[in-house]
Amino acid sequence: MSLTRVHNMSISLDGFATGEPQSIEAPFGHAGQRLHEWMFATRYWDADGTAGVDDAFAQRHSDGIGAEIMGANKFGPPGWQDDPEWKGWWGTNPPFHTPVFVLTHNVRNSIEMDGGTTFHFLDAAPAEALQIAREAAAGHDVRIGGGPTVVRAFLAARLVDHMHLVQVPIVLGRGVRIWDGLEALEAAYDVEAVSSPSRVTHLTFTRKIAVK
Amino acid sequence: MSLTRVHNMSISLDGFATGEPQSIEAPFGHAGQRLHEWMFATRYWDADGTAGVDDAFAQRHSDGIGAEIMGANKFGPPGWQDDPEWKGWWGTNPPFHTPVFVLTHNVRNSIEMDGGTTFHFLDAAPAEALQIAREAAAGHDVRIGGGPTVVRAFLAARLVDHMHLVQVPIVLGRGVRIWDGLEALEAAYDVEAVSSPSRVTHLTFTRKIAVK
């Protein structure tokens, strides 16, 4: 059974997964790197990092994943669609190592990168995109990689089997919120919370009823 | 030193401290009692309850408190100002046992209840209300009792020394949010999070710089 999973999605206390405005200098806007410092401190990110609860969660990011779906706002800064040379933020060897499906109204030819990552561009609704990504994942799971608008769309379409959020103790005040339009989301999930000595709190949502 | 404290303020994952619409039948609107079930299960509320981390936090509610400030929406349902007989939700012996200052544009005479609670009615901004409550507290601390609009106003005015929030794993989607307008609140506080086996997460905000 191939699951649809969200991992390491960091949010502020007020639920923003990115600040504003987003730009090539500031991919997360005024949030800067504050939403992800917990991850940079782990062994997942840095060989000298910690191997506690933050690392245990972070390492789940790639286990058993055969494809990722991401939104246009994750792939590049506003306007990347006008730059035919834009190949993502991540250099020649992006940290995905699977097919990655970028949801955008401006589709272009696929881009094969080093290390097993190929970017494909899709103008598709969540269910259709998931079907395509699942075929590419060849029996493995599909990660919904963000940003928050895309995660929210997949949650609203009831397509997410597992979600890992990381609540960082800051109040961003503005940006893109994960929670909007998701009233009663908890009805479909077992929700667990565990606070870390790093001061973040990991929230996991595990779908109650297994889907085929 | 008299501190200004918030205790047992329960919020949903998306930051709502009450649902909507509020009425005499449903003081917390569509949230019902879901934001406070964690507290009903503790010894603080029920002699047969639990005595773990939830209870430890809940019990802090009254320790060292000499007065409470509450908003009009906590004192009664919409329209209570038109009912000269309204004396709050809590019966003849309210659980405050101190002077309580109700912030309202419709002031009326003070009401002395059993058990040491006296309701006073004030049309005042946060700083002025706090000064009056602090005098009444006679050296003890002042609790900001809610609802969220009042807590937010005192936070925005930088008048809160300690805040205890309880994040409940539900998504309410609508109601009154605690976080609006509080960007960078964390700069003034040490923020701690601890998850409970009951699935709530306790968040404490302790002001970094002591105030007189």
pLDDT for the residue numbered B209: 74
Among B169, B177, B182, select the one facing A186 at the smallest CB separation: B169
Say how far apart CA B27 and CA B76 lie, in whole Å.
8
Topology of the domain covering B4-207: Dihydrofolate Reductase, subunit A (3.40.430)
Residue of A nearest to B201 (CA): A193
Q: How far apart are CA A192 and CA A199, in angstroms?
A: 16
Q: What pLDDT is recorded for position A210?
A: 57
Mean pLDDT of A141-168: 98
Best residue in B166, B171, B202 for a mutation probing chain A (most A CBs within 10 Å): B171
Nearest to B146 by CA among B166, B128, B117, B131: B166
In the stretch 112-171 of chain B, residues with CB closer than 8 A to chain A read 167, 169-171
Any CB–CB contact under 8 A between A184 and chain B? yes
Indicate the domain borders of chain A: 4-207
**CA B6 – CA B65 distance, rounded (Å):** 11
Residues of chain A found within 8 Å of residue B31, distances taken between Cβ atoms: none
Backbone angles phi, psi at B209, to 5 degrees: -110, 120
**Per-residue pLDDT tens listing for chain B (212 residues):** 899 999 999 999 999 999 999 999 999 999 999 999 999 999 999 999 999 999 999 999 999 999 999 999 999 999 999 999 999 999 999 999 999 999 999 999 999 999 999 999 999 999 999 999 999 999 999 999 999 999 999 999 999 999 999 999 999 999 999 999 999 999 999 999 999 999 999 999 999 975 54
State the count of interchain CB pairs (< 8 A) between A and B: 79
Provide the ipTM: 0.93
Are A201 and B185 inside 8 Å of each other by CB? Answer: no
Nearest C-alpha in A relative to B19: A183
Digit-coded pLDDT (tens) for A130-149:
999 999 999 999 999 999 99
| Exposure on the CB side of residue A177, measured as CA atoms within 13 A | 18
Maximum distance among all Cα pairs of chain B, rounded to whole angstroms: 45
